[in-house]
A and B are shown apart, each in its own frame.
Chain A
Amino acid sequence: EAGVTQSPTHLIKTRGQQVTLRCSPISGHTSVYWYQQALGLGLQFLLWYDEGEERNRGNFPPRFSGRQFPNYSSELNVNALELEDSALYLCASSLGLYSGANVLTFGAGSRLTVL
């Protein structure tokens, strides 16, 4: 069974640009989570999607947004990139909102460097 897959694995952008990161959950998982792992800051919760809807949002500005598609894959969009957005962006998936599940399976991440 394929795990959580993320693309691209690495990318470099310049300040002010926009980026889209993609995530495919484990088959059967309907919840997708996005975390930012910046150096020295640990894992910061960004967004949670379940059944196509945004269920919760972390303390990030509106230029961080995303969506979940009918096949449960998800995109994370970051507009007007800033230097401090440089980080590893992790996607995780789990069984759905009403399953009571709270164990996450993580992808390998997308490493974003903003110059």
Chain B
Amino acid sequence: AQRVTQPEKLLSVFKGAPVELKCNYSYSGSPELFWYVQYSRQRLQLLLRHISRESIKGFTADLNKGETSFHLKKPFAQEEDSAMYYCALSGRLTGGGNKLTFGTGTQLKVEL
């Protein structure tokens, strides 16, 4: 079974402070991890994926297989980062294809 855990429902930080959104996963195979973001009144959209190893809007995330974590980080929070963030895991299904499992999400609130 594949599972994604986001322990914080709400994370409140001040503008300019570092941000770390936690994500832990459980999966027996080799997973692919994603972060999706949902800004207010907008659609859920892909923020980044671990295989890309890129920084998007200043956010980075490193897959730590030893700790089964994929935390999302940004050194300096901006007001426009306020949104709902979902960690997701893609695992292979028997018979082909992938199943994307989402965590329960963390609401990030950046205060001035």
Contacts and interface: CB of A to CB of B under 8 A. Distances in A.
A100 B43 CA distance: 24
A103 B44 CA distance: 12
Interface size class of A (residues with CB under 8 A): 20 to 34
Nearest to B106: A42
Interface residues of B, number: 23
B93 A103 contact: no
Interface string B77-106: 000000000100010010111111111110
A102 B98 contact: yes
Given A40-B104, A102-B100, A106-B45, 7 more contacts: A3-B43, A40-B9, A41-B104, A42-B6, A42-B102, A42-B105, A100-B98
Interface of B: 6, 9, 32, 34, 43-46, 49, 86, 90, 93, 95-105
